[in-house]
A and B are shown apart, each in its own frame.
Chain A
Amino acid sequence: MPESIQSYLKPEVKSFPFCPGCGHTTNLHHLDKALVQMGADPKKTVIVTDIGCVGLSDQYFDVHAFHGLHGRSITYATGIKLANPELKVIVLMGDGGCGIGGNHLVNAARRNVGITVMVFNNFNFGMTGGEHSVTTPIGGLTVTTSGGNIETPLDVIGLSQVCGAGFGARLTTFDKELPSIMAQAIEFPGFSVLDIWEFCTAYYSPRNDLDKQAMLAISEAHSLPFGILVNRTDRREYTTNLAAQPAKQTKLPPDLSPRFGTLKSGKLELILAGGAGQKIKSTAGILGQAAILSGGYASQKDDYPITVKTGYSSAEVILSPEPIDFTGMMSPSAALILSIEGFQKEKDKLKEMGPGSFVFLEQSLPEPVTQAQIIRVPFEAIAKKVDRNSVALVGLGVLLSKTGWLSKESVEAAIGIGQKAAWLESSLAAFNAGWETGFSV
């Protein structure tokens, strides 16, 4: 840790490039003093800026410097802090940045991520010629508000406060305490934000006769008080919070090395269709896994509406002794239709199914137009006796015992692989009930 840094400004820099009287110059000298006061380690300090005159600032400091896009500095700073929580990350942005990047301000405060945002607030866009910004006072004259600004100025600290920021202060560039409050903000263990009011001597100040007195009047008129307005340590800083989260172990998908001989059938294309809650998706997975356990290849494609708890649920499963390329349906071998939603969804595909293919249809459903052999089964009624949630597994049992396309053991093994122990018994019972039924339909 360097003990005796007298200034963090680059020695070769004799002056800042800002207009005479610009608040940025004063603020940056104050920031330098704050860093000296803190004894900041340059290698552990990052200044992040974005666009606007203030965006020129980072390059004058002998610390890590990061200059990005307009309004996005808070996002880079957050990424840096998340990646390396031991760094002190300081964002210098203008009031313009607070407008375009307001969403990031809101969310950094909400997360309480341990970065410091210093807004060099001169009430307008200085870099582009003095347009009004989100902080321009009511009545403020700018090139885009020639009749006086009619938009309520953003309360940067108030907004941050309601979003959960830990530390917030509104100051002026004249404040003698500015360096020490800057240091306090940087050292604060959480999200800290400073709204530092200052002069834009090129545009806003001359146009609006802004002096120190006028600034105080704006504060009064808009109920935007000065001082440390937020200082709470009851919320833990984001990266600390994140590190304290219990890390759950993850596991790879199960190994499906073949263990049940070889897939005897040729290529099969199967449609499973029903309603939400019938376990279509998981049953399609079991079917695919059973084929792989039997030495074959499989593909599974699910389809359901975004409102997952209602409407149809369908899956297309291809089983093949050879690797599968095309995952669309070319000529379905069988369809398992378990509810009216599934029927409506797939009825056009049933029309194209030819002789030699099967439609396993819930007893109560209407007659589909198809050349396939229709086999009606009371799937729902059978499921009710064993496990009313496993209609699709009952259906799979019927389909496979009737067709003989996969062995019972391979499906039972697949059920065992995928299911939680609590559901295993009822799932197996549902499949077996279907399997037995399949011999008599």
Chain B
Amino acid sequence: MIQFIDGNEALVQGALKAGCNFFAGYPITPATPILLSMMSELPARGFTAIQGEDEIASIGFCIGAAMTGKKALTATSGPGLSLYSENIGLAIMGEVPLVIVDVQRLGPATGSATKDASMDIQFVRWITSGGYPVIALAPSSVEDCYLLAVHAFNFAEKYRTPVFILSSKEIAQTRMRADLDLVALPEILERTSPASTGSGKAKAVSFANELMQPIGIVGGEELSRFTGSSHDEWGNLTKSPEVIASLNHHLNTKIDADDVALWAYSGPEKPKTLIISYGIVSRSVNEALREIKNRETGHLILKTLWPVPETVLKTYLAEAETILVPEMNHGQYLLEIERLKPVGTKIIPLNQINSELIHPKRIAEALLEVSHA
């Protein structure tokens, strides 16, 4: 079915497709339309959506609901994400499956609420004390919003962790022609019920980095135990250095970067010049390459930003002589690429934070400079 919809609408359709059955959020531009949609879509399906008194309550509701077995979603923008951060730490520590949409706008603070920028790329990566890994996906299009919503719920279930969708104003609120039926979706993962352990209690977690771990369900048949304090596999508080080490090692290693890597590449097999982009900027790059009929340049669009898809990046970085990294921030992903590139490869950042999209002309000019150099 062909629709004329924006990224927020597509994201809601993807979340519903993935089985989202709980939403809590607080109004904030440009994420508010997700709140509005969920407030009508979920009750229409017999599920619950609620507007919290603030962002702290909203994510708190989601964490509580998620631990009863719900597939929970919340949506905000940069300032709201600041208020989410303490509970994101809890969600990481308590291994809560949860999808958090961050419709980025130009910050910091109130910034330009209705203007686009990719301001929160490093923010979501380091949002918790301890710097534990998170999963963050970045849509470039309306169709991506739909697809990545499904992936996000799957990854949340698979790895028992909060998953971010780093949308942005331009993707979220610009209507485009889209046919979501043509988007090939992954199989939808459902939470496994707690394994019978014989003791009448559900294990809170296994430190063995198992996928699709059976979660203790609050209100389930086996008594569950959830805690944000250092704990053993049964959710009991612990002071044992060995157990604490196991817990933290598990949290630090549990996400398989290759498994969650999503990307798209177009261009020659071994490009001399490579552009690495994500989010809305990818579209400026596409436009520029088409406009100047450039077929020699490779274009790698990262859909997974965290954990860094190192295998993919290294493969493409191995061949290129020059890498162009356009970003609508001061270069938040640049260092990730710099640390992976072979010695001698030249990296050219292209940054813009002025409330406007990076014009394809700027990309084309940068490419021209590369070819003249």
Q: Looking across the interface, which residue of chain A has its beta carbon closest to that of B224?
A: A64
Q: Do A76 and B64 contact each other (CB < 8 Å), given the known contacts A69-B90, A69-B228, A250-B44?
A: yes
**Contact A79–B24 (Cβ < 8 Å):** yes
Residues from chain A with a CB closer than 8 A to the CB of B9 are 253
In the complex, chain A residues 232-260 whose Cβ is within 8 Å of any chain B Cβ:
242, 245, 247-250, 252-258
Q: Identify the interface centre among B63, B236, B359: most chain A CB within 10 Å of its CB.
A: B63
> Is A19's beta carbon under 8 Å from chain B?
no
Q: Do A301 and B219 contact each other (CB < 8 Å), given the known contacts A82-B65, A103-B54?
A: no
Q: Do A292 and B357 contact each other (CB < 8 Å), given the known contacts A68-B228, A325-B283?
A: no
> Is B243's beta carbon under 8 Å from chain A?
no
Residues from chain B with a CB closer than 8 A to the CB of A84 are 68, 218-219
**Contact B176–A324 (Cβ < 8 Å):** yes
Residues from chain A with a CB closer than 8 A to the CB of B218 are 46, 64, 66, 80, 84, 87
> Is A390's beta carbon under 8 Å from chain B?
no
**Contact B223–A63 (Cβ < 8 Å):** yes
**Contact B61–A87 (Cβ < 8 Å):** no
How many angstroms between the C-alpha atoms of A84 and B87 in the bound complex?
Answer: 21
Q: Flag A383-405 by CB within 8 Å of B: 1 or 0 each.
A: 00000000000000000000000
**Contact B219–A64 (Cβ < 8 Å):** yes
The stretch among B45-53, B182-190, B207-215, B333-341 that forms the contact with chain A is B45-53
How many angstroms between the C-alpha atoms of A252 and B3 in the bound complex?
Answer: 9
Residues from chain B with a CB closer than 8 A to the CB of A297 are 176-177
> Is B321's beta carbon under 8 Å from chain A?
no
Q: Flag B213-239 by CB within 8 Å of A: 1 or 0 each.
A: 000001111011111110000011100
Q: Do A82 and B22 contact each other (CB < 8 Å), given the known contacts A43-B221, A65-B226?
A: yes
**Contact B48–A78 (Cβ < 8 Å):** no
> Is A67's beta carbon under 8 Å from chain B?
yes
Q: Looking across the interface, which residue of chain B has its beta carbon closest to that of A253?
A: B3
**Contact A76–B219 (Cβ < 8 Å):** no
Interface size on B, residues (CB 8 A): 70
**Contact A326–B174 (Cβ < 8 Å):** no
Q: Identify the interface centre among B48, B53, B219, B223: most chain A CB within 10 Å of its CB.
A: B219
Quick one: which of A80, A106, A242, A327 contacts B357, CB cutoff 8 A? Answer: A327
> Is A44's beta carbon under 8 Å from chain B?
yes
> Is B248's beta carbon under 8 Å from chain A?
no
How many angstroms between the C-alpha atoms of A46 and B223 in the bound complex?
Answer: 9
How many angstroms between the C-alpha atoms of A104 and B52 in the bound complex?
Answer: 9
**Contact B5–A253 (Cβ < 8 Å):** yes
> Is B345's beta carbon under 8 Å from chain A?
no
**Contact A82–B3 (Cβ < 8 Å):** no
Q: Looking across the interface, which residue of chain A has its beta carbon closest to that of B61?
A: A79
Quick one: which of B65, B90, B225, B284 contacts A325, CB cutoff 8 A? Answer: B284
How many angstroms between the C-alpha atoms of A247 and B284 in the bound complex?
Answer: 42
**Contact B4–A79 (Cβ < 8 Å):** no
Chain A binding surface SS class: mixed
**Contact B4–A83 (Cβ < 8 Å):** no
Q: Looking across the interface, which residue of chain B has its beta carbon closest to that of A63?
A: B223
> Is B356's beta carbon under 8 Å from chain A?
yes
**Contact A245–B3 (Cβ < 8 Å):** no
How many angstroms between the C-alpha atoms of A82 and B3 in the bound complex?
Answer: 33
Smallest beta-carbon distance A89→chain B, Å: 9
Residues from chain A with a CB closer than 8 A to the CB of B54 are 103
How many angstroms between the C-alpha atoms of A298 and B178 in the bound complex?
Answer: 10
How many angstroms between the C-alpha atoms of A167 and B352 in the bound complex?
Answer: 56
Q: Flag A287-305 by CB within 8 Å of B: 1 or 0 each.
A: 0110010001111111100
> Is A77's beta carbon under 8 Å from chain B?
yes
Smallest beta-carbon distance A127→chain B, Å: 12
> Is B193's beta carbon under 8 Å from chain A?
no
Q: Do A66 and B64 contact each other (CB < 8 Å), given the known contacts A82-B50, A255-B3?
A: yes
> Is A59's beta carbon under 8 Å from chain B?
yes
> Is B246's beta carbon under 8 Å from chain A?
no
Residues from chain B with a CB closer than 8 A to the CB of A75 are 52, 56-57, 59-61, 63-64
Residues from chain A with a CB closer than 8 A to the CB of B226 are 65-68
Q: Flag A55-77 by CB within 8 Å of B: 1 or 0 each.
A: 01001001111111100101111
**Contact B87–A83 (Cβ < 8 Å):** no
How many angstroms between the C-alpha atoms of A234 and B54 in the bound complex?
Answer: 27
> Is A166's beta carbon under 8 Å from chain B?
no
Quick one: which of A66, A249, A298 contacts B177, CB cutoff 8 A? Answer: A298
Residues from chain B with a CB closer than 8 A to the CB of A67 are 226-229
**Contact B57–A107 (Cβ < 8 Å):** yes
**Contact A69–B87 (Cβ < 8 Å):** yes
Smallest beta-carbon distance B182→chain A, Å: 12
Q: Looking across the interface, which residue of chain B has its beta carbon closest to that of A75?
A: B60
Smallest beta-carbon distance A106→chain B, Å: 8
Smallest beta-carbon distance B144→chain A, Å: 13
> Is A328's beta carbon under 8 Å from chain B?
yes
How many angstroms between the C-alpha atoms of A56 and B229 in the bound complex?
Answer: 10
How many angstroms between the C-alpha atoms of A256 and B179 in the bound complex?
Answer: 10
> Is A330's beta carbon under 8 Å from chain B?
yes
**Contact B286–A103 (Cβ < 8 Å):** no
**Contact B219–A80 (Cβ < 8 Å):** yes
Quick one: which of A103, A256, A325 contacts B2, CB cutoff 8 A? Answer: A256
**Contact B90–A80 (Cβ < 8 Å):** no
Q: Looking across the interface, which residue of chain B has its beta carbon closest to that of A65?
A: B225
Q: A83-B22, A255-B3 are in contact. List 12 more A-B contacts (CB 8 A).
A: A59-B227, A68-B63, A78-B57, A78-B61, A80-B64, A80-B65, A80-B68, A83-B70, A104-B56, A299-B174, A301-B170, A326-B357
**Could you name 24 residue pairs across A and B whose Cβ atoms are closer than 8 Å?**
A59-B237, A64-B223, A64-B225, A67-B228, A68-B94, A68-B226, A72-B56, A75-B61, A76-B61, A79-B60, A79-B61, A79-B65, A80-B64, A82-B65, A84-B68, A247-B44, A247-B46, A248-B43, A250-B41, A256-B2, A299-B175, A300-B175, A325-B290, A326-B359
Report, nearest first, the 9 A-B pairs whose CB atoms are least far apart: A79-B64, A75-B60, A79-B61, A326-B287, A76-B64, A83-B65, A107-B53, A83-B68, A325-B283
Task: Write the residues of chain B forming the contact surface with A, with a CB cutoff of 8 angstroms.
Answer: 1-5, 9, 13, 22, 24, 40-41, 43-44, 46, 48, 50, 52-54, 56-57, 59-70, 72, 86-87, 89-90, 94, 114, 170, 173-177, 218-221, 223-229, 235-237, 283-284, 286-287, 290, 356-357, 359-361
